[in-house]
Amino acid sequence: MITVLKLKIKNNLLFIILISFILSSCVGVSSKGIFGTGVSIATDPRTIGTQIDDSIMQKNLSARILLMDKDYFLAVKTKVLDGRIFLTGTVDNPEEKLKLTKLAWETQGVRSVRNDIKIKEDFNFKQSAKDVLITSQLTTALILNKEIKATNYQIDTYKKKIYIYGIALTSEEKDLVLKEAREILDVQDVIASILLVDNLRIQKN
C-alpha cells in the first residue's frame, strides 16, 4: 500500500514538473519563433510582440490540454499564428474533439480555431511510415526551394493528406508551397492554412 502511494506521488510530481517546464519555456521560445529552434526573429514576418503573444498562447493551451488528459501529450499538437489556433492529431472519439475545440476557444486572445484532429483508428504501421516519408519529402523540397522561406511553415501528414500551417511573404510564395506539396508522390490532398503577411494584424516595419 505504501509503495503504491509513493508511486502515485512520484507520478504526480513528474507531471507537475512537466507542466511547469512547458509554461516556463514561453520566454525561451519567444526568441526563436513559434516553430522552435529553426526560426529566428529575423526570419519570422510577425512582429516580436505577436511572436511572444502567440508563443504564450500556445504554451498555455498545451498545458491546459495536458491537464485535461495526459494521453494528449503526444496525440494532440497545437499551433498559434497571429492569434489563430490550429489543432492536429488524433483522439478516441468525437466528444474529445469537441472538448478540445471548446478549450481552444477559451484561450485568452484567440481570434479563430481550426480543428483538424482526426478520430483514432487501428494503428497501421505501413500508413504511418508513408505519412512520415511524405512530410520529410515536402520539408526537404521547401528547404531546397530558394524562393520559399521554409522555416515559416509547419507540416503534418495524416493518411496521405498534407496539412500545412505557416506565413507566406507573398501570394507567389504561397502558390509555390502548394505546388511543391501537390508534386509529392502518393499525396491525396493538401489542406493549407497559410496566412499572407499582408493579412497579419500587425506587421513588421
CA 135 – CA 184 distance, rounded (Å): 9
Which residue did the predictor score with more confidence, 135 or 18? 135
- Supply the pLDDT for residue 11: 52
CA 192 – CA 79 distance, rounded (Å): 13
Q: Reply yes or no on whether the pLDDT at 139 is more than 90.
A: yes
Helices marked H in 69-160 — which ranges? 72-75, 94-105, 125-144
Q: For residue 205, what pLDDT band results from cuts at 50, 70 and 90? A: low
Query: Are 54 and 84 spatial neighbours (Cβ–Cβ below 8 Å)?
Result: no
Q: Reply yes or no on whether the pLDDT at 25 is more than 50.
A: no
Cell of 122: 487501428
Q: Reply yes or no on whether the pLDDT at 65 is more than 70.
A: yes
Among residues 18, 21, 51, 20, which one has the least CA distance to residue 36?
51
Q: Which range among 53-62, 69-78, 94-103, 196-205 shows the weakest confidence by mean pLDDT?
A: 196-205
- Supply the pLDDT for residue 62: 94
Q: Which domains are assigned to the chain?
A: 2-115 (no CATH), 125-199 (3.30.1340)
Q: What is the DSSP string of 170-205?
A: SHHHHHHHHHHHHTSTT--EEEEEEEEGGGSSSB--
Sign of CA dihedral 71, 75, 80, 86: negative
